[in-house]
């Protein structure tokens, strides 16, 4: 499978091609350069990423990125404890909130996932997610070298679902792993590649 290699941005720096999508260059470039692939630890922080990746399913990441502050406001800053206490009235409030993606199943999953995680001990979600981080692999040269699913993401998805999480299929789990730095899928020539270690 062929793919695209790095692209030079207007600042002369090489980036993964998605980091310079024309219609959204500023949004994607900032996310690509400062967040994507950087290690994320902490139960609430990982819960936020799990929720956002779930809401992204079937949509463009840009849609989620541009509504992230709306999501944070609607979901109490993605505090697991706070969202776990949401009521049916909160769910209805979320369904009427234009600042987020108003999908009943995804909203129910976000609340349900918080209730599952709230029953765990401190750090348990972080430990679980990071236990599936694979050994570092060779840097991808083109987007065609970047998988959509891996054995580790399939295993993480299976374990999360076994424990009661929803909207965490293998592709979503791999997107989570990429976004949270469990893997470094910045292309080999990308200026961000290897910018931060685990």
Show which residues are catalytic.
Answer: 31, 53, 61
Backbone angles phi, psi at 135, to 5 degrees: -65, 145
Burial class (CB in 10 A: 0-12, 13-18, 19+), 120: middle
Task: Provide CB contacts within 8 A for 77, sequence distance 6+.
Answer: 44
For residues 193 and 29, give the distance between their C-alpha atoms in angstroms, rounded to a whole number.
14
For residues 103 and 52, give the distance between their C-alpha atoms in angstroms, rounded to a whole number.
12
Burial class (CB in 10 A: 0-12, 13-18, 19+), 119: exposed
For residues 57 and 40, give the distance between their C-alpha atoms in angstroms, rounded to a whole number.
20
Tell me how far apart the terminal alpha carbons of the chain are, to the nearest angstrom.
Answer: 29
């Amino acid at each position: 499978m062929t793919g695209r290699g790095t692209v030079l941005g207007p600042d002369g720096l090489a980036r993964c091609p998605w980091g310079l999508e024309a219609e959204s260059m500023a949004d994607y470039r900032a996310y690509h350069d400062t967040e994507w692939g950087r290690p994320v630890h902490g139960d609430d922080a990982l819960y936020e990423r799990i929720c956002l990746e779930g809401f992204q399913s079937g949509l463009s990441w840009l849609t989620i990125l541009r509504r992230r502050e709306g999501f944070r406001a609607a979901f109490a800053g993605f505090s697991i404890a706070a969202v776990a206490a949401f009521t049916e009235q909160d769910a209805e409030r979320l369904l009427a909130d234009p600042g987020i993606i108003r999908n009943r199943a995804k909203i129910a999953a976000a609340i349900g996932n918080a209730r599952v995680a709230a029953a765990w001990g401190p750090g348990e979600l972080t430990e679980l997610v990071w236990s599936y981080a694979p050994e570092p692999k060779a840097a991808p040269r083109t987007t065609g070298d970047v998988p959509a699913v891996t054995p580790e993401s399939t295993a993480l998805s299976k374990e999360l679902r076994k424990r009661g999480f929803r909207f965490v299929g293998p592709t979503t789990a791999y997107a989570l792993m990429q976004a949270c730095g469990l893997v470094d899928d910045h292309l080999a020539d990308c200026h961000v590649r290897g910018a931060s270690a685990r």
